[in-house]
Structure 1
Amino acid sequence: MDVKTFGELIDWTRDLHAHLARCLSHGATHNEEERARALLGYLAAHESEMERIVNEFERQAATKVLDTWVYDYQSHNPIKTHRTCDEPYAKLDFNGICREVFDFHDQIIYLYQTLVGKAAIPEAKELMESLLTMEQNEFQRLVRQVGRMDDL
C-alpha cells in the first residue's frame, strides 16, 4: 500500500491486523499440534480485536489529522509477516508462532515510535502517541496471555 497520510497509515495497519487474523485463523484449522491450534485461535481473535480498535481510532480522529502527510514514511522498511496464508502458521510450532507474531507487533511499535517524532502537527503526534500506547499495552497483554498458555 502506498501510504501518504496518517489516515492511510491507519488503514494500512488495520488491514495488517486483519490479514494476520485471517492467516492465524487459517493456520488454526490446519496445524497438527493441539497447543499451536489453541494459540492460533486465541491470536486470531486478538488480531481481529486489534483491527476493530485501530478502526475506532480512525473513526474518532479529526479529518485534519487523517489528511496530514506522513513524512519520511518511505524510508521505513515495510512490516514483514507471512504475506500469504497458504501454509506458514500451519507448519510452525507454539514457539515459532509466538516469535512471528511478537516480531510483527514489535515492527508496528517501532513504526509508531518513529512516526511520533515526524508528525507535522500536534494533533497527528497525539494520534500516533495514542496508537503507540494502545499497541504497546495490547502487546503486553498478549505476551502475558500467551505466557499463561505456555505454562499449561
Structure 2
Amino acid sequence: MTRVQARITDGQGDADAFSLRMALPECRQGRVGISTDPWRDLAMKIERFEDLIDWTRDTHNLLARCMARCSDKHEETRAKWLLVYIADHERALAETIDKIEKHADPKALHTWIYDYLARNPVLRNQACKSYDTMTVEEISLDIFLTHNQVIDLYRSLARRAEIDGARELAEDLLRLEEHETMRLAQQVNRIHEM
C-alpha cells in the first residue's frame, strides 16, 4: 500500500492535509488508463466567470452521471459503493454550485476571465471514463485529480481577480471545492479501510 498525500492550502501557507492509502504501482509506472489531465482533449473557450461556473457545474454533473452509470456495471462491491457515493456527492455539489450562481452578483458573473483561461484552457463534454473497470484506488486517484484541478483554477482566479465581487465569488467557490474535496477524502479513506 502507498499513502498518497493531498494538501489543500489557502494560498497563505495554512494548509489542511489529508491522505489516502492506495496501492498504485501501475499508476506510478504509467500503465493505468488514467489521465493526469482529464481535460486535455476538448478545449472550450470560456470568457466570463459565469461560463466558468457553468463549466464547473457541468463537470460535477458529468462525473455524477458517469459514476452512477458505471456503479451498476462494476463487479467489486467496494468500488460500487465508492461510485454510488461519489455520484451522489458530485450531484449535490453541482446543485450547490447552481444555487451559488443564481445568488451571485451579476457584475461578478459577467467579469471577463479570458486572459487567464487562454493560457490554461478548460475542457467540456468529455466521454465518460471506464470507471466500471477501474479499481477503488484508480477511481480515487482520478476523482482527486479532477477536484484538484478545479481547486487550482479557482485559487488562481481568486489571487488574480481585480474586481472585489469576482474575487469574493472565486474565494467562495474555492472554499466550497476545498471543503467538499476534504469531505470526499474522508469517505474515500473509510472505503479504503474496509
**Into which bin does the TM-score normalised by the smaller protein fall?**
over 0.9
Question: Is contact 2:74-2:80 (8 Å) kept?
Answer: yes
In the other structure, the counterpart of 2:118 is 74
Larger radius of gyration: 2
Q: 1:120, CA displacement in angstroms? A: 2.7
Paired residues in the alignment total 150
Q: Distance in 1 between matches of 2:130 and 2:149?
A: 19
User: In the alignment, what sits opposite 2:61?
Assistant: 18
Which of 114, 122, 139 is the equivalent residue of 2:181? 139
Task: Name segments (4+ residues, structure 1) moved above 4 Å.
Answer: none
- Aligned counterpart for 2:77 among listed residues 15, 26, 34: 34
2:162 & 2:73 partners in 1: Cα distance? Answer: 45
The CA RMSD measured in Å over matched residues stands at 1.6
Note the C-alpha offset of 1:117.
Answer: 1.9
TM-score (norm 1): 0.93
Partner of 2:101: 58
More strand by share: 2
2:50 matched to which residue of 1? 7
For 1:44, which of 87, 98, 111 is the aligned residue? 87
Residue aligning to 1:129: 171
Structure 1 CA distance for aligned equivalents of residues 126 and 138 of structure 2: 16
Question: Residue 158 of structure 2 contacts residue 171 of structure 2 at CA under 8 Å; is this kept in 1?
Answer: yes
Pick closer, same or farther for the CA change 1:67–1:77 going to 2, 3 Å.
Answer: closer
Residue 115 of structure 1 corresponds to 157
Contact 2:64 2:87 in 1 (8 A): yes
What fraction of aligned residue pairs are identical, expressed as a percent? 37
The whole-number CA distance in structure 2 between the counterparts of 1:17 and 1:151 is 26
Q: Which runs of 5+ in 1 are unaligned?
A: none
Give a deviation string over 1:96-149, Cα, whole Å, max 9, x none: 000000111000001111111221301100100110011001100110111112
CA distance in 1, matches of 2:136, 2:121: 27
Instruction: Answer whether contact 1:31 1:90 (CA < 8 A) is retained.
Output: yes
The answer on 1:90 being equivalent to 2:137 is: no
**Cα displacement string for residues 19-73 of structure 1 (whole angstroms, at most 9, x for unaligned residues):** 1111111110111111101100000000001101111110110111111101321
In the other structure, the counterpart of 2:147 is 105
Return the letter of the residue paired with 1:19.
L
**How many Å apart are 1:79 and its aligned residue?**
5.8
